[in-house]
Structure 1
Amino acid sequence: MFMSRRSILKSMAAGAAVPTLSAPYVRAQASTLRLGFMTIRTGQMAAAGANYEQGLSVFLKQRSNKIGDRPVELFAVDTTNNPAVARSKAQELVESRKVHAIIGPISAFEALAISDYIKQAGVPMISSAGSEDLTQRDPNPWLLRPGSSCAQCSHPLADYAFKRLGHRRISTIGEDNAYGYEQTGGFHRVFEELGGKIIQKQWVPTASPDYATYIASIKPDADALFMALAGPNGFRFLRQAQEYGLNARLKFLGGYTAVDESFLRNMGEEAVGAITSSFYSSELENEENKRFVADIRRDYDLLPGYYAAVVHLAAAALDNAVRKLDGEVEDRARLMKTMRTSAVANTIRGPLTFDDLGNAIGNVYIRNVVRVKGKLVNSVVETYENVSQFWSYKESEFLKNPVYSRDFPASPNI
């Protein structure tokens, strides 16, 4: 079963030396770095928000509640996974709390809702939201994305599915929002350019606990199914797919949250063999990640996944820049420029740099769900090095196309 919000917060209070995430704000200290933190504590995405908070809690605990040697004064707000609420909370952080920078928000449509305000306010925002155009056709000069754009990990997965797995006909199921469109679109484009066929697309509401109708509609001649599902939706879909016997005839592929580590603990045989792509896996062997995994397991008794990892990366990028600036963060423009132009050599995902639009360039890992010592993990089976948001395309040519959507790429095989 899923951990309840009460259980998660109880474990945070018991395991973390830094109590900032369970309170609205921390009493100011001299020379503090005022950090806004946009999480989700309400609704379907609350469990993902809790993982997000755990990632930041561990990062701050590892560094004695400091970023770049400046004590952190943290202001955590609940966006409720609602664009209007996210905008009001962003205004609160900037105008009332006077933050130096913001980590978050989590969801793509939240980031889109506050982007214009962040531009106007001129506050660095380090976001996990993968909305493509925030770093593409309508770039936000105040945004840094240390994870990936929505489609960035889907491009290499399509390459792997065609060349290594031999798939030729694929159905897709994705959430009926920008996140679902863009993850699916990136996979679709690369797969069909290689010679494969996307033979079906289904779009589901974000809150869709019953997938029976969609499962029954999946075409019988598909080699595999690509899933663009977030939060607990991958868990719910695969559980129902097993009940309907879909696992016996179909291979499952997915984006970086489809079988996230934070939900694998609740899953069983239905997840085994699912192939996904991400900029992160808890199985990565670098020293920074081994320490992170050990600390998350100690404090919360779970493996870190996308939501915990991406916020740890956000804090690492901020910490790296603040150190280079010797703690001088009052000049926000200088802080933003330093984050974008500074490589972060040692992160939990490996080496990390940023393009001129503020998006991460780094490794993308193809992962297979397997059992290790009785526990499900995303084992790395292939590494695509230094992947950019533009894949193998020239940036100028890529940007001539519209953003991935319901209608782009076109679907001649459906």
Structure 2
Amino acid sequence: MNSPVTQLRHLDGVRILDLFAGPGGLDVAAHFLGFKSIGIEWDRNACETRYAAGLPTIHADVSVMRTSRFDEIPKSVDVLAGGPPCQSFSVAGKGKGRRALNEVKEFIHRLVDGDDEARIDEDLRALDDSRTALVLEPLRWLLKAIETDGRDPYKVIVLEQVPAALPLWEVYAKLLRGGEGRLNGVKYEAECWQLKTEQFGIPQTRTRAVLVARRPGHGAIEPLETTHLPFDLHRGKRNTSQPDLFSADSDTSGSKQRWLSMADALDAASKLKGSPLDPSRLRRGGKMKFFVVSNYGSGGDPKNRGRRLSSEPAFTVTGKISRNRVYTSTEDYEAARSDRFTIPESGVLQTFPHNFPWSGSDQAQQVGNAVPPRLGMHVLSRALRGNAPSDDELAASVTWPHVPPTTTAELRVIGCGDQGQCPPDSHKVTRSHRKSAP
């Protein structure tokens, strides 16, 4: 096992606990803001990416950590963050969670009111989709901290989910402001919003429901300031055979920048020192020009696949991004040879550093599961510092620092135990937690 000195070196000063941490979207954001974090992640492949990136990790089920291994969380942690898996709430899924919203709201109230947790767990198992219950985990972790001797309530809470979960965050916020029941008088300033990623310089359209809660004494939580213009999702349909296929909206009115396009993001990343990106196949006449056909249908028609130009933001990056078809030919769309985004390219569209060390299997799934780090920087900076990330911090976030193999090996031991073996029963809860999270 790692020596106590080695563990202390990696975990000393950790402030942020990232539940359902995935490959590290929020942890990457925390790093560039100067905060140390530790993540809990069930998926072994995502853990391998995290170890390779030098991100402290516990390879375990979030529920198991809360019930039987809570004392392993460093006491320096004062920020609770996370994005519970969102399949059942997502418009891309079957929507069982959306239909169960009222039931989940009731469970939230039952937890705070002090209803018997064994009975709550039994009722949760009766839900159509057991993963829906995972949205309750952050509240259960907060209650655990409040009720555990020697632990202080978290000072800050940051949660994100798909837009359909916003009503749940609103219930969270109301209860956190009240501090009643099992909250034992612990109150928070709490706000929640829907955020569009392209308005924060992320080259994709993606909407997230975000909750930020903070213990009183630091003033009201101000809304995040967007930096870029919104992208018009309802723009007119284009004929891909017309000459203006690769035209771009040049509206830069006001003080905000235009949204960032796929071409701009990939081109800039490919020019960085040591970049693994080689998008020459996407260039025509020396310029990056292509269009993407979505893997998803729209308007209820699975054959009606949307298209995005290289001069526009990407579709929402999901675990199916490797199935999106990329074309550079405009002459004969049906006959044209399609390509796919590489994993580093997909990561850049999520605003991961160009050289982020994606590892393990199911890497497209890992990319799609993640919180876009640039959005995470804006949210965490507002929650922890009350302001936006600096231009220098954002500029630095395009490149990930080199991580020695010795660090990766040490973190693997901390996360999984000797020779990659995890403690017994660490993964005994539902095995399908980490499938696609749009």
TM-score (norm 2): 0.34
Q: Highest Rg: 1 or 2?
A: 2
Bigger strand share: 1
Bigger RCO (CA 8 Å, 6+ sep)? 2
TM-score norm. by structure 1 comes to 0.35
